[in-house]
Amino acid sequence: MDAKRAVLVVEDDEAIRFGVVDALEAEGIATTEAKDGIEGSSLAVRGEFDLVLLDLGLPKKDGMEVLREIRAARPKLPVIVLTARGQEEDRVRGLKLGADDYVVKPFSAKELLARIEAVLRRSCERPLDLDRVRFGGVTIDFARAEVRHKGGERFELSEREAELLRFLIKNAGRVVSREELLQDVWRVDPRGVETRTIDMHVVRLREKLRDDSDQPRFVRTVRGRGYMFAERLDEHA
C-alpha cells in the first residue's frame, strides 16, 4: 500500500479504535481519531483524508447521519462503514447512502487492510478514466459503450461489459481474480456468490472483441486464478 495515506477513524469503542489505528499505522498510514459522530463528521468534512472508517453506532450523532453529511459535502471521499454482525440492514442502508464498502465486526486487521486497499485503488483510478482505447485493431469507445473493428464492424457493450473491460484494461498485465471482479465491477460481496456470471460476461466480451475463445489474445483466462488483459494499448487512441 502507498505510504502517506491519511485515514480518519470514527469509532467510539476504544478497543476497536486502538486496534484499527495500530493496524493502519503499522502499514505506514497516518490516522486521525474521532470518538463520536459530531467530531467525526466535522473532521471528515473539513479534513484532508483519503478515506474514512465509520462506525454506525456512535454517540452524539448517528453514523448514518454522519455518512449523509459526508456524502453531501464530499461526494468522492471514500467511506468504509464498520457494522456489527447481524445488522444486515445497516449495511444495505450504508451502501445506499453511498458508503464504498463495509466491514463486519469483529474483523481482522488483514481483512480491514484489504478492504481499505481495494477502496483506495478504486478511488484513485477514478480520475484516470479512459474514454477511448485502441489495441490490436479494435477501438473501444467507452463514452458510447461501443466496440469498433478496423473493418467497420461495431458492437454495443452492455454497461456491465464495458465496466468489466475497463477494469481489466486498467489492470492490464495483472491477473484479476473473479472475487475481485465481483467486488469491484459487480459491487457485490464475493462470499458465496456464483462466479459463473463473470465467465459468461467474458465469453460475450470476447465475441464482441473478436477474440478467439480457444486462444484469446486480449482477455486471457489464467487457470485457477482469474482473467488478465494481455494486449498492449496503442499510444494514440
Give the pairing type, strands 101-105 and 132-135: unpaired
Residue from 27, 33, 38, 57 binding Ca ion (CB under 5 A): 57
Q: Is 55 in the site for Ca ion (CB under 5 A)?
A: yes
Helix, strand, coil proportions of the chain in percent (round to 5)? 40, 20, 40
Which cell numbers in the block locate residue 97? 447512502
d(Cα 146, Cα 139) in Å, to the nearest integer? 8
Q: Determine the Cα–Cα distance for residues 54 and 41; give it in Å rounded to an integer.
A: 10
> Taking each helix axis from N to C terminus, what angle separates 196-209 and 159-170, rounded to the nearest 10 degrees?
90
Residue 104 or 172 with smaller CB distance to Ca ion = 104
CA distances from 114 to 13, 177, 183, 206 (A): 22, 14, 12, 30
Q: Which CB, 80 or 147, lies closer to Ca ion? A: 80
Closest approach of Cβ 77 to Ca ion, in Å? 21
Q: Which stretch binds Ca ion (CB under 5 A): 8-16, 44-52, 163-171, 173-181?
A: 8-16
Q: CB under 5 A: which stretch of 36-44, 55-63, 113-121, 217-225 binds Ca ion?
A: 55-63
What's the rounded Cα separation, in Å, for the pair 106 and 220? Answer: 37
Shortest Å distance, C-beta 126 to Ca ion: 30
Binding range to Ca ion, per CB under 5 A, among 52-60, 176-184, 211-219, 228-236: 52-60
90 binds Ca ion (CB under 5 A): no
Least distance in Å: CB of 156 to Ca ion?
47
Residues that bind Ca ion (CB under 5 A): 12, 55, 57
